[in-house]
Structure formats: C-alpha cells, structure tokens
Amino acid sequence: MRNITIAIDGYSSTGKSTLAKLVAKRLGYVYVDSGAMYRAVTYYAMQNSFIENSKVKVRELIDHLPEIQISFKYNADLGFAEVYLNSINIEKQIRTLEVSSYVSQVSVIPEVRRQLVVQQQEMGKNKAVVMDGRDIGTVVFPKAELKVFLNASPETRAKRRYYELIEKGDNVSFQEVFRNVQERDYIDSNRKDSPLRKAKDAIEIDNSDLTKEQTFQKTMELVTMTLEGYE
Ligand code: DC
C-alpha cells in the first residue's frame, strides 16, 4: 500500500493529538506533535528567563535558537513519542497552563517558525507520517494527500481542556481555561506568519457532538478513500 502524509490541523483542544495518535497507530505511521515543539521552545524561554512580566524577550530568544535541540523518542509504554529538549524529557512540563499561556506569543515569531518547519519537513520527508498542528496542511506539507481540519465550539474545547488539567491535578478554574482557549484562537488565527487557516483542500470535521471514537472512525473513512484513490 502506498504511504501518504496526513495533516491534522485545527483549533486548540479539538482533540487533534488524540486523533493523530490513533490514526498513526492504526496505520503504523510516525506521529509528530508539532505543537509540542512550539511548547518546547516556550518552556526553554521560561527556563532561561526570556519571559519577563508576561512578555517574551524576542531578540534574546532568537539569539539563543541555535542552542535549542528538540527531538522525539518513542515510549513503548505510552505508545507515542515524547518530546525532549536538549536531551531532557519535558513531555509533562510543556502541558501546563503556564506554558499554554505563553506559547502563542512564541509561535508568532517568524524565526522560531522557520526553524521548526524545517525540522518538521525533515521528519515527514519519507511520508507515512501523521502530523498535527495549525499550519501543517497550509505550510509544512501543502501537498499532503489527506488534510483534516478539526473544529468544535469554544465552550466544548475549554471544557475538554479543563477536565484534562483537573485530572492531572492542576489547580485551574474553568474561566481561566476558557479565556486561554479564546486568547489562543485569536492569536493563532490573526498572526501574520502562517496563521491558523483551513487549507482549501482540507476536510473539516466539527466534533462538538462527536466522541473520540466517532471522530476517529470518520477520519479513517477519509484515509481509506484517499488510499483507494491512489490504487
Ligand atoms: O497543539 P497545541 O495546543 O499543543 O499547540 C500549542 C501552540 O503552538 C498553539 O497555541 C499554537 C502553536 N502551534 C503553531 O503555531 N503551529 C503549529 N503547527 C502547532 C502549534
């Protein structure tokens, strides 16, 4: 069977990574969480005091970009690849609301995007990859054979993220999480460089009223149709 590239883009907390992991597992493809890379750069900025008074020190961060090495290592117990920053596993550290609150500021920086996009394209050069993010179908892999664009209402997405954080033991309020979801939607959609857009040839799935399993089934139908188209 021919290998394809699958791009899964969409708003935050639409279940992109859950879906991408399931699809990659079913097909035996590599899964790449591009958001984890932007989160890793944000975490690096926080650790190195390049964020002060809630503002990212853009020049300093750009100057230190060559020091940032991001890699993924497969964890067989978890069934997916965890993200490493300069050889240190930071999978847990990048999922906090604090990182979420700065990551959109970091991901507007064109120099950061350029560096990460090159790395993402390299990771997908042999196809057989499922990558999720905001600009995968528009910028990273504009020729991906299948592009899925996930959407859901802001309330539904904030609820999902809120329960996820609470389950992990984070002390957050629903209002905080809801505000963060709205802020990120705004910044991600309005930035100059590679804003969040549905690619013209992407297929939109609104999963406000769908379960994870239903979203997965719908996507697998699209995968089958795409693969049949190449037979
Ligand atoms: O998918 P996520 O919520 O972990 O992504 C975190 C942030 O990273 C998101 O708010 C915007 C940014 N991002 C991006 O700009 N481009 C991508 N391809 C992936 C994520």
Beta sheet of 146-151, edge-to-edge order: 30-33, 129-133, 5-10, 146-151, 203-206
DSSP string, 166-209: HHTT----HHHHHHHHHHHHHHHHH-SSS-----TT-EEEE-TT
Instruction: Indicate the domain borders of the chain.
Output: 5-223
The candidate with the shortest Cα–Cα distance to 9, out of 180, 121, 159, 131, is 131
The pLDDT, as a whole number, for residue 45 is: 98
The pLDDT, as a whole number, for residue 230 is: 80
CATH 3.40.50.300 assigned to domain 5-223? The reply is yes
Whether 148 shows a pLDDT value over 90: the answer reads yes
Q: What beta strand segments (E) does the chain contain? A: 5-10, 30-33, 51-52, 55-56, 70-75, 80-85, 88-89, 129-133, 146-151, 203-206
Structural element, H or E, at residue 137: none
pLDDT, tens digit, 9 for 90 and up, residues 78-126: 988 999 999 999 999 999 999 999 999 999 999 999 999 999 999 999 9
The pLDDT, as a whole number, for residue 156 is: 96
Going by alpha carbons, the residue nearest to atom 2 of ligand 1 is 35
**Average pLDDT over every residue of 36-43:** 98
Structural element, H or E, at residue 59: helix 58-64
pLDDT, tens digit, 9 for 90 and up, residues 192-225: 999 999 999 999 999 999 999 999 999 999 999 9
Going by alpha carbons, the residue nearest to atom 3 of ligand 1 is 12
DSSP 3-state of 160: helix
Angstrom distance (rounded) from CA 75 to CA 81: 6
pLDDT bucket at 147, cuts 50 / 70 / 90? very high
Q: β-strands 51-52, 55-56: how paired?
A: antiparallel
pLDDT bucket at 1, cuts 50 / 70 / 90? confident
Angstrom distance (rounded) from CA 18 to CA 25: 11
Going by alpha carbons, the residue nearest to atom 16 of ligand 1 is 134
Going by alpha carbons, the residue nearest to atom 1 of ligand 1 is 35
Query: Could you tell me what percent of the chain has a pLDDT over 90?
Result: 96
Whether 231 shows a pLDDT value over 80: the answer reads no
Pull the structure tokens for residue 83: 């993200």
**Average pLDDT over every residue of 28-56:** 96
**Average pLDDT over every residue of 19-24:** 96
| Entry pTM | 0.94
Pull the structure tokens for residue 197: 């857009």
**Average pLDDT over every residue of 180-192:** 93
184 CA distance to ligand 1 middle (Å): 9
Sorted by sequence, the CB contacts under 8 Å of residue 132 that are 6+ apart come out as: 7, 8, 9, 16, 17, 19, 20, 31, 32, 33, 34, 35
Which residues lie with the beta carbon below 6 Å from any ligand 1 atom?
Answer: 12, 34-35, 38-39, 103-104, 107, 133-136, 184, 188
The pLDDT, as a whole number, for residue 52 is: 93
